[in-house]
Structure 1
Amino acid sequence: MESALSEIEFLALSPNRVAVLRHLAQERRTRTELARETGASQATLGRILRDFEERSWIRRTEGGYVATATGELVAEGFLDLLDIMQTEADLRNVVPYLPTDALGFDLRHLGDATITMPSGTRPNAPVQRLLGFLRDADEARAFSHAFNEGSLTVIEQRVTAGEMTFQGVFSRRAIDAVADDAGLRRRLESLLDASGAALRVREAEIPLAVTTADDMVHLLLRDANGVLQASVDSDADAVRQWADETFERYWAAATPVDREDLPS
């Protein structure tokens, strides 16, 4: 264990070592190419290459260097660790609000996700991020414990104009909250009448607020008091697959929303 930790430390303490090993694990490189791609001096490169050769992580070939099988193994494992730590750092501020028990994918798939936080000047930035996707999408689907005014407005306007199609599964509480507001109720009824929309209601709670707009999956994150804390959006295949499968599961277990069933 100590030997392995010391080797991890050996790499971690030098970005140049990591960069050189990454490049050599991809394909053969000459010293000149490594110097250009990493910015390391020839003296530094010389020390790194000697250290790597001593560990049998690289070998000389055709005037250059290339990673050995064990060098590729080390590079893959270390770079995976770097990706994990970067993803953790990106998610650290929002992980208390992520419904991780309901997320059916490895959090590493959020490595390239965009996180939007409210600010003093843009307190509604996460919702505005979602509305931007909805304004451009040809097709949208949602499953959520809430149907916020902004989303309902954009969806109703674009669906009734024939610019997009929409399917949504919402908790009973979400539908009742919209129906209780006269202005939002009119938009909801207009949406229910539109041929390009289909809404269903789920009696049980939905622990997420997820919208898929074309290929983008967007999650709105709130704290235990319902206060908006952030949004996360991703177009990773695994995240989209999870969103599609979860939507289908909720959709199959829900019932159509009928205007006559709305609370008066």
Structure 2
Amino acid sequence: MRDFTYQYGSLSDAGDVRSENQDAILCCTGEKNIQNQQNDAAFFLVADGMGGLSYGSQVSAYCTDQFAAWWHEDFSQMIQAGRDSDTDIKELLEQEIWDINTQIYQFKEREGCRCGSTLSALLLYNGKYYIENLGDSRIYRFRKNNLEQLTKDQSLAAQLVREKRLTPEEAEDFPQKNVLTMCIGMFQIPQSGFEMGELKNGDMFLLCSDGFYGCVEEADVKEILRRYNRQNDKGNGILQFAVEKLRSLIPEGGARDNVSLILTEVRKG
């Protein structure tokens, strides 16, 4: 049973100002075998590291390395064992987040340093999407010409907007708008946001760090996604081109932070 296939394009760069890229991305696709049936699956992750010296890049790379191992080992073994219910998948994702957070938190306490990372993860499997999010990297879904943010920013500004103590317009100029209320390594107990839902043919998902979405207008992003939606008959290449078009929305010299993008499209198998 191969209901859906997944194609993607991705990029990550230091931006136009910073000398080091502390973001890390992960893209995994492949078949997972359950009860002698083949299911295509995909996993994508954006991690935006933070911290002095090279700690930010080390933490974000650790997140992607650990989830790469999770994809090839833990997730594969769970599927082969027939444990692929929504509850099983949510628990497995959150256990990995817990394990990564524990290692980063202990490293931070031991070294007396400031470090952490956002983490936005998207799993596509068996006709559904599963999202785990910590921090303010984002995941959007583009469906039927509608662009919807599926994650909730875990930042002080976003929290004040949700509490109606700031308007969205006031949040744009809020002096502490980049202060996070949660990320990998911040607290001993990570509190991630979880979302899941049904996939539909032609769905596109965009994962990005704040270095991208903070510099562009959603209307411009939506127009590029509309232009390339369900036109990737030549494989991943057209989506890679779409990602590069998205990156070009940032004016030359305007990327003051690291920029990371992953764009994936769901197609009937």
Q: Choose between structure 1 and 2: higher strand proportion.
A: 2
Instruction: Say yes or no: TM over 0.5.
Output: no
TM-score normalised over the length of structure 2: 0.22
Q: Which has the larger radius of gyration?
A: 1
Q: Choose between structure 1 and 2: higher helix proportion.
A: 1
By relative contact order (CA 8 Å, sep 6+), the higher-ranking structure is 2
